[in-house]
Chains A and B, each alone.
Chain A
Amino acid sequence: MELRDYLEILRRRWLSACIVAALVLAGAAAVTFTMTPKYTATTRLFFAVQDTQSVTDLAQGSTFTQKQMTSYAQVATSPLVLDPVIKKLHLPTTAQDLAKSVSVVVPTDTVILEVSVTGTDPQQAAKIANAVGDKLTHITSDLSPQRANGDQAVKATVLAEALTPTSQSSPNVPRNLAVGLVLGLLLGVGVALLRNVLDTKIRGDHDIRALTDQPLLGTIAFDENLPQHPVVVADDPLSAPSEAIRRLRTNLQFVDVSGSAKTIVITSSISGEGKTTTSINLAVSLAAAGSTVLLIDADLRRPSVATCLGMEGRAGLTSVLIGRASVDDVTQQWRGTNLHVLPSGPVPPNPSELLGSTAMVNLLGDLGRYFDVILMDSPPLLPVTDATVLTKHSDGCLVVVGADRVHRGQLTESLRNLETAGATLFGVVLNKVARRDAPAYVYESGYYGSAEPSEPEPEPEPNVPRRAVEAESQAS
């Protein structure tokens, strides 16, 4: 993956990345602000050799003292110093415990000792520090070697008394928040990448091209009005989905240059990918271009064509297959156009069997004489075998791919099923593409996204029966 791909992932998943970052930051803040603030008071002591006579003495004395500093540091935190401090300040603790709050630092190559006391009470910390400093000066005198004249060789002087600290030493709020932010961002990016890896849904053209070489015959944008107004090519002919359907229609002619394809099965991998809506709109579009079209609702399990068109679906294909009606009786003309619809009929207990029956084969053969194109809306490929059965008696099929709905593995499997069954696949149609996953032309209506919309085809006049015209001429 290139940098561009990473940036693309981040652009799409920015929201989850930000949420994770915000949560981590909030967590860091919560932890930081609930921690009890501690204050550190520091006193500094200077250790020196006294009464040096000469520079040599001074030099030697300095070296001696420097070497002693580590020892003095240890003394500072020993009970020797701390017990008296405890007693003096009436501290409810032991020398061992108090030592934990006392830290001693000797800056390198100096004879300075920094005694720091950390506690929750700043004033107390300062007091303890000063007491420790004070005691340490006395102890140093006690411990240092005595000169011949009775003076102590090493003397410690308080350089700076500990002041009451005004700001907390811990927790370090800016640092914690900064760390939280950085960590959050890292985690956010990590989550975004992880989600991308785990998300196997098909989203756009590139996902399909990565899976199959089959032609992509159309890319239809997601339209939230579609469920309420499914026949978009008629109700909103200038919209982007309508243009996409017309493009699909044209592309279908390209893949079937000989024009011999007559019966086309329209299916998808799983349910909810929009194959019924695509079938209906493609059928209307083909009829509008002049073909006589029959749309058969061959989904005998969950038929929906009739409902989408406001027709009665309880008389239809199954009625014909069991001999209760002729095709003539139950086909319904759509809005007086060249499109005729054969609804499913009553739902049978054995859909696969019916669709593969001799009656069905014969029916399709008969119907081919009256129609230029027969589209069959069928159940999805993966749950049941109906669609695969149908492809055996048809000239080919179209697989509708519902972006944001079907997973790559599912599409791969359904395409494989078709291949195994020896079906002719004309191509795939990418449906319900979200705005952010679509190339620009998919969402813009109008030719190449220009300001002028493209011309819709004129709708043919609905037929008024001949008898009416005759009656009219008789009456006049």
Chain B
Amino acid sequence: MMRLEPSSGDDGGPFSILCVCTGNVCRSPAAERLLAARLGEAVSVSSAGTHALIGKPVSPPMARLIADAGAEPRGFSARLINEALVRRADLILAMAHDHKAMIAEEWPAAVRRLFTLKELQRLLGEIDTERLPTGPVDVRLRSAIPLATAQRRRVDDPSLDDVTDPYGRSDETYLRAFTDIDRAVDRIARVVAPDRDRPPEPRRVDHGSVDLR
């Protein structure tokens, strides 16, 4: 039988989002923590890496930026992506188009649940949000996905939907990557969780003295 809806993850739990990048210490943890903060408990967000630095915490420059935005960078341990994670996820957000390609090739059954983060941001910007059902975040998210899919069209340069990899690079690059992720998360949140406010940014006198333990 031809199913017309996106295949969903098969764990029967809350709507789950898997964020994927290379090392799982910069981009995908940031996406994970920011999405969790913005979307709340109706959705479970996790992350993994295609070449993960297994066991490592969030890279310090990124951890600072996450904390400054009011989300929680602590209690994180990088892990490698695997079939179980992919199968469970209702939505997979790759940070760049080559992660997306790799996942599609390795686990083809996930392809209809697969977007790059900035691609989803772009596509959600094209949909008519009036058509989303009122209801909890996960319900809106499930409906938003086929509507976003229907907005796909040819892009001149797929790498424009990539979040640059800041690992080992300057603070500016970290800030740029973080800002990209933050904006994308913001768009997603405003579409599917319009009633939830942004978490307030903690007042700080000092720059970058967050305890990472």
Residues of chain A at the chain B interface (Cβ within 8 Å): 228-231, 307-316, 319, 324-326, 328-336, 340, 345-346, 370, 462-465, 467-469, 471-472, 474-476
Contacts and interface: CB of A to CB of B under 8 A. Distances in A.
Contact of A315 (B104, B132, B149): B104
Given A310-B155, A315-B108, A463-B4, A472 B135 contact: yes
A310 B2 contact: no
Given A312-B114, A316-B108, 4 more contacts: A312-B104, A328-B7, A335-B150, A464-B131
Contacts of A475: 133-135
Interface string B133-156: 111000100110011011111111
B3 interface: yes
A336 B109 contact: no
B101 interface: yes
B146 A467 contact: no
Dominant SS among interface residues on chain A = loop
A329 to B, nearest CB: 4
B176 interface: no
Nearest to B139: A471
Given A310-B153, A463-B4, A468 B142 contact: yes
Contacts of A335: 150-152
Given A329-B108, A472-B135, A475-B134, A340 B142 contact: no
Given A312-B111, A330-B111, A465 B142 contact: yes
A435 B149 CA distance: 37
Contact of A328 (B2, B139, B149): B2
Interface of B: 1-5, 7, 100-102, 104-105, 108-112, 114, 131-135, 139, 142-143, 146-147, 149-156
A316 to B, nearest CB: 8
Q: Which 8 A-B pairs have the closest CB atoms?
A: A315-B108, A325-B108, A310-B152, A468-B143, A329-B109, A315-B111, A472-B133, A319-B108
Contact of B105 (A308, A315, A463): A315
Contact of A329 (B7, B100, B147): B7
Contact of B134 (A465, A469, A472): A472
Contacts of A345: 108
A307 B100 CA distance: 14
Contact of A471 (B1, B135, B149): B135
Contact of A229 (B4, B110, B154): B154
A231 B36 CA distance: 38
A468 B132 CA distance: 8
Contacts of B112: 329-330, 332
A331 B111 CA distance: 9
Contacts of B152: 309-311, 335
A328 B153 CA distance: 22
Contacts of B100: 312
Nearest to A227: B154
B155 A324 contact: no
Contact of B154 (A309, A468, A472): A309
17 contacts: A230-B154, A313-B104, A314-B111, A319-B105, A324-B108, A328-B1, A328-B2, A329-B109, A330-B109, A331-B2, A332-B111, A463-B146, A464-B146, A465-B4, A467-B139, A472-B134, A476-B134
Contact of B111 (A329, A333, A464, A467): A329
A402 B150 CA distance: 31
Contacts of A333: 4, 146, 149-150
B105 to A, nearest CB: 4
A465 B143 CA distance: 7
Contacts of B114: 312
